[in-house]
Chain A
């Protein structure tokens, strides 16, 4: 067909060919540009992580040299604005670790049981309703959690404190703003994350494992706790690690409920975390104080990176097991 028209309309055919050639080279150019742009977009996240790391290190290390590593990390006196300031963040680090640990201990069991409910126990409709509630909990801003904690939880804690320490002279009353309040708020805040990821993991456990367990005469509860949850372990580990990350990194909610003085992390002491030190002091800090705050940020960053690496390890392990 084509060569006939080429003979008959030789000229216009040649023109069309030319045009097609031009179009093709233009199309090729567009293709190249598109690919380049997409590649750039893709590597933006790499760029972001690299520059965040760089900035955290560059801004966080000067204070270490000026104050000394030992005097920052392992000294417990935090007096950044005193005449002879000291910048020991030992208690701050400890508080962050203690608060996170307590939040995980309090929050993960409830979250896991809820995940079991959603994936194994509840009838479909009920599961959908509870699942929707969990999703909504995940979307509530952390300031609101902080506000509820401050208005509802702190007064309860204060009453508890008054009862427990009524005969303990020298106890510094916190008005309920203490480590325990912060841990409770954090526990609630990590629940949605832990629930939804564990639920997915539990649902992914193959049905034949359950069948085998039932065939051996196991009850539903036995099957859940002895077969299903162990089989979902990698996924649940992922959920817990993500929960740890969330708890460690949460700033606003805990800054409202934790009191804010630098203290040994005990349940009824007012405490300051790595994150709350940053949000409450960054606004007015200057000079060396500000540099030390960046070191605080660096410490938090290192913790989070360690968590990310362990998460990556778990995920890789999981991939290997799937093969």
Chain B
């Protein structure tokens, strides 16, 4: 009898813990939306903060976030996918793979402040890029590399060996096989990695604060669009941190709403791809 009571008590705690996790999510999303929704309007999304007009806007930060995300992926995706291909298709085990597994895992466990410090002195200092969108993107590329590699590798592993044997049997060269069979088959996994990476980029703040700075202006059109890459640019998260520190809470909550929408959209994409992959395999 005592045992039954103890069992139900512990089961109750298990249910309680799970309920707590769900309530946490609901609470966070609900709170941010309720508090932040009044601030999200057209001007907020399409203009930059102006002291003259006394208006706040995050258009510059939105554009910066977009720049940083795209540039980071341009650097990280080829390298990450390439690494996965090498590990799965060329290396065939051995010390090389173990070393790369170790370093990838090390990168995955590195806190973003460390990436920030490194990016600041290496890309910003040694390479002379200063506080800029480019510095930030290069830094984040190192940061999301493990994510891309890991997902691409898992996807490559899931490609059945019969594909490889079939292609080899038809006299295809390795590169041809990788290009025409393996990479397309692994595409859902690669795309999942990319989307997860976007999630990390959008949510990142510490590393970017130290490397990309906090500029909030929109790029000039024409040449300025390119030039923006070498200018300082604060993403949404960085701006949100700064708003919080300066006690501009309304603005912070408004950005919070935008960020949560992005996070939800990203999560939805990952789920859709997972469902799609399940259907075709």
Contact = CB atoms under 8 A, between A and B. Distances in A.
Interface of A: 27, 30-31, 34-35, 37-46, 48-49, 51-52, 55-56, 59, 109-111, 113-114, 116-118, 121-122, 129-130, 132-137, 139-148, 150-152, 188, 191, 195, 219-222, 225, 242, 245-246, 248-252, 256, 275, 278-279, 282-283, 294, 297, 300-301, 304-305, 307-308, 311-312
Given A31-B173, A56-B117, 6 more contacts: A52-B114, A117-B18, A139-B199, A144-B32, A245-B111, A297-B113
Contact of B107 (A41, A49, A248): A49
B203 interface: yes
Given A113-B18, A139-B199, A219 B145 contact: no
B2 interface: no
30 contacts: A31-B173, A38-B89, A40-B82, A41-B78, A43-B100, A45-B104, A46-B103, A49-B103, A49-B106, A52-B110, A52-B142, A55-B121, A114-B18, A117-B18, A132-B271, A136-B263, A139-B203, A143-B241, A144-B240, A144-B259, A147-B244, A147-B252, A191-B24, A219-B7, A225-B10, A245-B111, A246-B111, A252-B241, A279-B113, A300-B111
The A interface is mostly helix, strand or loop, or mixed, namely helix
A293 to B, nearest CB: 8
Given A49-B106, A136-B263, A140-B263, A42 B111 contact: no
Given A38-B82, A42-B82, A56 B206 contact: no
Nearest to B199: A139
A122 B237 contact: no
A130 B81 CA distance: 32
B13 A142 contact: no
Contacts of B121: 55, 59
B22 interface: yes
Instruction: Return the 10 tightest CB-CB contacts between A and B, nearest first.
Output: A249-B111, A41-B82, A141-B203, A113-B17, A42-B86, A38-B86, A117-B18, A34-B175, A251-B206, A42-B83
Interface in B58-89: 78-83, 85-87, 89
Contacts of B100: 42-43, 45-46
Given A141-B202, A304-B110, A148 B90 contact: no
Contacts of A45: 83, 100, 103-104, 107, 145-146, 149
Contact of B118 (A55, A188, A256): A55
Most buried by A among B80, B86, B267: B86
B48 interface: no
B167 interface: no
A117 B256 contact: no
Interface residues of B, number: 88
A143 B18 CA distance: 24
B107 to A, nearest CB: 6
Contacts of A256: 241, 244-245
B118 A144 contact: no
B11 A307 contact: no
Contact of B14 (A31, A116, A219, A297): A116
B3 interface: yes
Nearest to A117: B18
Given A30-B175, A52-B118, A139-B267, A121 B14 contact: yes
Given A52-B110, A55-B118, A312-B102, A41 B79 contact: yes
B31 A41 contact: no
B225 to A, nearest CB: 27
Contacts of B249: 151
Contact of A56 (B20, B79, B118, B146): B118
Interface string B243-276: 0110001001100100110011011000100000
Contacts of B109: 242, 245, 304, 307-308, 311
A278 B113 contact: yes
Contact of A188 (B24, B87, B102, B105): B24
Nearest to A35: B90
A144 B32 CA distance: 8
A12 to B, nearest CB: 22
B19 to A, nearest CB: 9
B136 to A, nearest CB: 15
B24 A42 contact: no
Contact of A249 (B16, B28, B112): B112
Given A41-B78, A251-B111, A143 B237 contact: yes
A55 to B, nearest CB: 5
